Structure 1
Amino acid sequence: MSNTRNPSESHNSQSSPRTTNKDTADKDTTEHTTRRRRPRPMEVLRDACAQLGELTGMSAENVSSFEQTEDGWSLEVEVLELSRVPDTMSLMATYQVELDPDGELTGYRRVRRYERGRADSHRSGGR
Structure 2
Amino acid sequence: MTDETPDREDDDTEERSESGEGGESRSSATPGPMVVLRGAREQLAELTGMTPESVSSFERTESGWLLEVEVLELARVPDTMSLLASYEVQLDPQGELTGYRRLRRYERGRSEPRGAGR
Amino acid at match of 1:80: L
Aligned equivalent of 1:96, options 88, 92, 99: 88
Per-residue CA deviations over 1:37-94 (Å, capped at 9, x if unaligned) read 1001000000000000000000000000000000000000000000000000000000
User: Within 1, Cα distance between the matches of 2:114 and 2:47?
Assistant: 31
Question: TM-score, length-normalised on structure 2?
Answer: 0.75
What runs of 5+ residues in structure 2 fail to find an aligned partner? 1-20
Any residues of structure 2 matched to 1:100-111 within 5 Å, and which? 100-111=92-103
Pairing of 1:1-127 with structure 2 (within 5 A): 32=24, 36-123=28-115
Question: Match of 2:76, SS?
Answer: coil
TM norm structure 1: 0.70
Offset at 1:123?
4.6
Rounded Cα–Cα distance in structure 2 between residues aligned with 1:123 and 1:68: 24
| Identity percentage of aligned residues | 65
Unaligned runs of 5+ in 1: 1-28
Deviation of 1:122 (Å): 2.0
Distance in 1 of aligned mates of 2:112 and 2:84 = 13
Show the counterpart of 1:23: none
Tell me how large the CA RMSD over aligned residues is: 2.0
Instruction: Please list every run of at least 4 consecutive aligned residues from structure 1 whose deviation after the TM superposition is greater than 6 angstroms.
Output: none
